[in-house]
Amino acid sequence: MATNWNAVLNNTNNFNDVLAILKKLLALMGDLSTLDSSEVLLRIDEIINSSVADFNEKQIQAFKDLKEAIEVASAAGAGENGWIDTLVLTLTGENLREFNKKTISTLDCIDDLATTLPWPGRTVNVRSVIKDKHLGGGTFVFSADSSKVPDGYIVVAANGGNWVKITVAFPTIDDFGGLGDDPNYDDADAFIRCALSPYTGSNIYLANRQVEYRINKQVDCKGKGIVGGGFSRQNATAYAMNSLKVRPGDYSNSNTLLNNVAFINVGAEVRDLQLVSEGVSENISGLKVDGYNFTLSNANISGFYNQVYLSNATVSFRVQNLMSISASNAGFYIADVDSKQSTTAYFDNCSWQWGKYPVLFAKEAYQCVFNNIILEYMQFGLTAGIWSNCSFNAIWAEQTRDGVARDWLVNTSYQQTFNCITNNLYIRTPWLNRADTTALAVSDNIGGVVIDKSRITLGGATGAKIQLSPSGLATLFANWYGGTNRRLLITTQPTATDSNYKTPIYINAPNGELYFANQDETSVSSVVFKRVIGATAANAPYVASDSWTKKIRKWNTYNHEVSKVGRFIAPMMLTYDVTFTTQQNNAGWSISKESTGVYRLQRDSGVTTELANPHIEVSGIFAGTGLGSGDVILPPTLQAIEAYDGSWSAYRVAAGVKLFFKNLSGALVDPMRFSVSFTLESGI
């Protein structure tokens, strides 16, 4: 009986059934080698009828082609040397590949691979990872000699080998069952499977499509980074383009360092990501990363307790192009639980808004750089236990979250900031600015160099501060800062040891004028000059004073605290003249006439200043009137005016002296003019 091909093919379930029939047919064809062509065809019909109950109509053409091929081959004389290799190609090697090119099946989901009959090189299309979702599908090829470890999604285990996905440049979350955009679906498992797969490289990739992935439980990234589909603005429209959202769920972990964190063990790179807290409690953090050799770039993070959390210290830690908003505790919290001291953390082009801390180092921070930073409506500024050798450039701070005045840069351990460089600041109230180049230093001064407001200041961490401005060089020491360091020191290097060359200080006044003022050009306080003039009795440098007033100058030539020998005091001088309407007054001292031939030298009334064993000299005596008569007037004799009872007789201390002028006959006479030179003390 001839084979009813339509009946066979209409009732075949799939091509696996056809293949099974074909294999059986070929195995039996060795028995046909002694038959002629008509007998071969008859025998084929008998074999098929006995082996097949039903066939699918969609597969009828395959067997029609086979029957026609046999008829054509028979007419051409085939079968003389047997039928197996001459009539039908053996399904191995190149023959199998040629056959498979024309026989690619399509499966609904990746689970269907488990029930698909494999053979080497067989190719199938999978519509979707999850049935009817149309995401993550691709082309799989069966490999019998595959040594790859199955992960169930990129490499799927099968009998005798593996199905290997060949249509993916780099896998994304979609390849592991990620859906996104379904508020009732948890994409966390897809992230976990992607992290566990050995075929996802160093990063977990979000699909490059409009999607919002959501997770409801903690994801262990197994040391792999996260790469999103780009970042945009902080609003719902931007998040809908491509984002990763963390929803309320179970983020617990028995390890306290990993507890209440959405993504743990994140690898060395996070970029092009929009990470959003969607209704999770304020004690859930976003990313747990390692502080060593980590890079975060082009990221937009919203919400969370700590948006990025590090349990260790930083080393070569890089953050750039960051938008952060609404961190309940910190945008970056560096716990440094082992007190290793954070170093080389670089933040560039970062903006923090409406949060508590932008960056919080629980311990010290060394050689860290903050460049192009925006702080808006933050509760606290950049914070560390100690800042040392750090750089802060182009810092914008505008409004605190609660309106309370706070420093934009804070160090919590002993309030110390050492050897830092700060440049180009825009610090608006109510933010406080310890780096202000126009203000006095404070107890928690920013130590280092500050360049701002057309000024440069050099400061220590404990109150020292020197300013260079367009108008000159000045000190801005804290009010309480004292000791020998409270000075403006201008010095050169010591004498060269090899050449014995000296390096002097030159002050060249091009206009021939050199001014010494006190504090500013409006001050009338006198200036005191001091210089080292030798050794004290203890062989220490003695700094002698050289003081000036309008009417007196005095300087020391030896340490007067040890001995008065050698001390010089310039005398005061007064001239009395009968023609003066008002007699001269020098530092309160003046000469007045008491009676004929009797004159008084003393301070103005109401103020008593003592003369202690003074030097007094009277000269320049004029007699008569006009040009002077030339009459003889003897040098005056003196009488002490006691400061107190017995002051002169016992101690040679006087409140002044009287001068008695007489002629040769001994009569008191008035001179027309005379001068008195005196010192307040003799120096002996």
619 vs 679, more confident: 619
Express each pLDDT in 19-35 by its tens digit: 555 555 555 555 555 55
Last residue of a domain, one of 526, 552, 570: 570
Measure the CA–CA gap between 254 and 608, rounded to whole angstroms.
87
- Please state the φ and ψ torsions of residue 73, each to the nearest 5 degrees: -65, -40
**Tell me, what's the pLDDT at 62?**
62
Residue with tokens 């933050």: 378
Predicted model pTM: 0.70
Question: Which of 578, 682, 679 lies closest to 626 in space, CA to CA?
Answer: 578
Is the peptide bond preceding residue 430 cis, with omega within 30 degrees of 0? yes
pLDDT band at 342 (very low <50, low <70, confident <90, very high): very high
Mapping DSSP onto H, E and C, the string for 580-632 reads CCCCCEECCEEEEEEECCEEEEEECCCCCCCEECCCEEEEEEECCCCCCCCCC
Is 273 inside a domain boundary? yes
Residues 191 and 255 in one domain: yes
Residue with tokens 């505008």: 398
Residues 16 and 84 in one domain: yes
Lowest-confidence range among 80-84, 276-280, 583-587? 80-84
Question: Which of 304, 301, 308 lies closest to 272 in space, CA to CA?
Answer: 301
**Tell me, what's the pLDDT at 98?**
59
The b-or-e profile of 86-106 (16+ CB within 10 A means b, else e) is ebbeebeeeebeebbeeeeee
Cβ-Cβ contacts under 8 Å for 231 (sequence gap 6 or more): 272, 273, 274, 298, 299, 300, 323
191 vs 532, more confident: 191
pLDDT above 60 (res 350): yes
349 vs 281, more confident: 349
550 vs 646, more confident: 646
pLDDT above 70 (res 568): no
Q: Percent of the chain beyond pLDDT 70?
A: 81
pLDDT above 50 (res 86): no
Residues 592 and 659 in one domain: yes
pLDDT above 50 (res 518): yes
Burial (CB count <10 Å: 0-12, 13-18, 19+), residue 504: exposed
When divided into structural domains, the chain yields a total of 5
Cβ-Cβ contacts under 8 Å for 522 (sequence gap 6 or more): none
Last residue of a domain, one of 38, 59, 88: 88
Residues 579 and 671 in one domain: yes
Mean pLDDT throughout 51-69? 58
Mean pLDDT throughout 620-639? 95
Is 523 inside a domain boundary? yes
Residues 212 and 277 in one domain: yes
Measure the CA–CA gap between 115 and 267, rounded to whole angstroms.
37
Is 490 inside a domain boundary? no
**Rg of the Cα trace of the chain?**
51
Mean pLDDT throughout 406-425? 90
Residues 231 and 286 in one domain: yes
Q: 376: which strand partners?
A: 353, 398
Beta strands at 386-388 and 417-427: parallel, antiparallel or unpaired: parallel
**Tell me, what's the pLDDT at 320?**
98
Q: 383: which strand partners?
A: 360, 410
**Tell me, what's the pLDDT at 1?**
46
Angle between helices 15-28 and 37-51 (to 10 degrees): 130
Residue with tokens 């701002």: 452
Cβ-Cβ contacts under 8 Å for 354 (sequence gap 6 or more): 325, 326, 376, 377, 378, 401
**Tell me, what's the pLDDT at 7?**
47
Residues 159 and 199 in one domain: no
Residues 197 and 306 in one domain: yes
Last residue of a domain, one of 570, 588, 614: 570
CA 455-460-465 angle, 5° bins: 40
Lowest-confidence range among 7-16, 122-131, 392-401, 642-651? 7-16
Is 352 inside a domain boundary? no
Measure the CA–CA gap between 347 and 345, rounded to whole angstroms.
7
**Tell me, what's the pLDDT at 437?**
94
Is 600 inside a domain boundary? yes
pLDDT above 70 (res 38): no
**Tell me, what's the pLDDT at 538?**
77
Measure the CA–CA gap between 605 and 602, rounded to whole angstroms.
8
What 3-state DSSP class applies to 85?
helix
Residues 198 and 302 in one domain: yes
Kindly report the number of other CB atoms within 10 A of residue 486's CB atom. 13
Lowest-confidence range among 131-145, 147-161, 415-429, 562-576? 562-576
Residues 561 and 580 in one domain: no
Lowest-confidence range among 334-343, 495-504, 553-562, 564-573? 553-562
Q: Percent of the chain beyond pLDDT 90?
A: 64
Is 93 inside a domain boundary? no
Q: What is the mean pLDDT of the chain?
A: 86
Is 25 inside a domain boundary? yes
pLDDT above 90 (res 375): yes
Helix (H), strand (E) at residue 30 = none
Mean pLDDT throughout 452-458? 95
Instruction: Please enumerate, as own/partner, the contacts of 396-399 that have beta carbons within 8 Å and a separation of 24 or more.
Output: 396/426, 397/426, 397/427, 397/428, 397/431, 398/374, 398/428, 398/431, 399/428, 399/430, 399/431
Q: Where are the alpha helices (DSSP H) in 221-286?
A: 236-241
Residues 588 and 618 in one domain: yes
Residues 604 and 593 in one domain: yes
What is the domain extent for residue 632? Answer: 572-678
Question: What DSSP string runs through 265-280?
Answer: EE-SEEEEEEEEE-S-
